[in-house]
Amino acid sequence: MDGSPDTHASARALGTAGLLALARSSNPKDREKLLDAVTCFYEDASRDERANLTRQGGNDLLHDLLLELVREAEASLRQKMASRLKVADWAPHDLIVWLALDEIDIARPIIAESPLLQDQDLIRILVEATLEHRIEVARRPKLGSPVADAIMDQDHPLVLAALAGNASAEVSVNQLARMVAASKRVAAMRSPLSRHPGLTHELAYALYSWVGETLKAVLAERFQVDDRELGAMVDGAVSSLKASEDRRRGDRRLTEASSPLELFEKIAADPDPDLLDPASESRLLTKLALSGQLRPGLLLRALRERKMGLFKSVLARLGQFEPAQVEAALASGRQDLLALACAAVTIDRGAFRSIHGLVEDNLGRRVQASQALPGEISAAFAMTPEQARKAFIERVRRLNATDLNALEDPFAQP
């Protein structure tokens, strides 16, 4: 059962009579031949032919027969099918999901490679299948962000360790911060996280505080920071935040805060727009991320309290944007850029109108600076967060390029 041209030719040569004879036989080898033949027929049909058969009702029979044959097949035969279908883009979706939920030796190649498995299928496997299946999901190349969230919500140490070792998984800085926080109690996560390509300096500082000497050396060398300096930055992260406020205001309110979220709320409610220096603000946002409290709702809170700088910092951190990109997008007044940024951090279209109005109000723009083209807002919120993030970065890049061209030739025709 290898799907080779010879196999396909043999299947076509059987004809209807040959298929019926195989179907009536109880011999395991004949059942394997029948399954192979039906699979070849299904694979040989073009996409248009399968769609046409579906409209005529014929494809349902072929599809059901294929699924039933696989379900009745012995484990060794199902394993051969999984190996054959692991990269197929033509196979019936429910057959692929069924194989992914089969015994782990059968499911493993499907979970690892099938292009037909969607995020919702992988989350279903996390809920319904065994621990071994869940570990394989966590190892899947280019694992999607929603699946990574589901893994972290389940909070199983072995699955978390597998996710930490998956360098190709599409995880945000906030998700990576959740993993770093989990590694405080799950030692198996520490080594892969110390080498993770997405690890930032600030997350390295947090990780440094609970790893052993070997990994301390790895982190210190990778981030080119002196070992003693790195340790001092970890120990002083929270105290420097409090000391900064004490020096600025002689005020003890922030030092009494019991959580990063309480710190944020006190800062947002304070009338001083320059309450925190950039370094202290960055550490606060990292602590919020590590505690799982850096969420899109903080954007509205910052805007309502007229903390535009804090809004920009939170948006940049949530969306993994450069601060300059956020600054340029907001300065342009373009609704499509703000919509893409909101979609990238999972704010829905319903909340966008409020955010847009508050941004314009905070920036003192009574007249809208730039109308969006019809459909641009809808298109932004139809994207996945990762698609919206990439579109935002690309449009800001083009915006900056246009501005530079205008500076180089101020007399150029628009």
- pTM, entire model: 0.55
Mean pLDDT of 301-307: 85
Q: What is the pLDDT of residue 54?
A: 43
What is the overall mean pLDDT for the chain?
76
Q: What is the pLDDT of residue 2?
A: 55
Q: What is the pLDDT of residue 376?
A: 84
Amino acid, res. 271: P
Mean pLDDT of 347-351: 85
DSSP state of 370: B
Per-residue tokens: 48: 């248009």
The Cα 65–Cα 59 span in angstroms is 10
Contact 128, 145 (CB under 8 A): no
The Cα 383–Cα 339 span in angstroms is 11
Mean pLDDT of 13-34: 56
Q: What is the pLDDT of residue 362?
A: 85
Using pLDDT thresholds of 50, 70 and 90, give the confidence band for residue 373: low
Mean pLDDT of 109-113: 96
pLDDT surpasses 60 at 250: no
Mean pLDDT of 173-191: 91
Q: What is the pLDDT of residue 270?
A: 58
Using pLDDT thresholds of 50, 70 and 90, give the confidence band for residue 216: confident
pLDDT surpasses 60 at 53: no
Which conformational region is residue 306 in: left (phi greater than 0), alpha (psi within -120 to 50 degrees), or beta? left
Other CB atoms within 10 A of residue 120 CB: 12
Q: What is the pLDDT of residue 307?
A: 85
Per-residue tokens: 375: 């459909």
Q: What is the DSSP string of 142-196?
A: T--HHHHHHHHHHT-HHHHHHHHT-TTS---HHHHHHHHHHTTT-GGGHHHHHT-
Helix, strand and coil percent figures for the chain, each rounded to 5: 70, 0, 30
Using pLDDT thresholds of 50, 70 and 90, give the confidence band for residue 257: very low
Using pLDDT thresholds of 50, 70 and 90, give the confidence band for residue 56: very low
> Hey, what long-range contacts does 66-70 have (CB within 8 A, 24 or more apart)?
66/35, 66/38, 66/39, 66/42, 66/92, 66/95, 67/92, 67/94, 67/95, 67/98, 69/31, 69/34, 69/35, 69/38, 70/35, 70/95, 70/98, 70/99
pLDDT surpasses 70 at 47: no
Using pLDDT thresholds of 50, 70 and 90, give the confidence band for residue 304: confident
Which conformational region is residue 295 in: left (phi greater than 0), alpha (psi within -120 to 50 degrees), or beta? beta
Nearest to 343 by CA among 314, 286, 382: 382
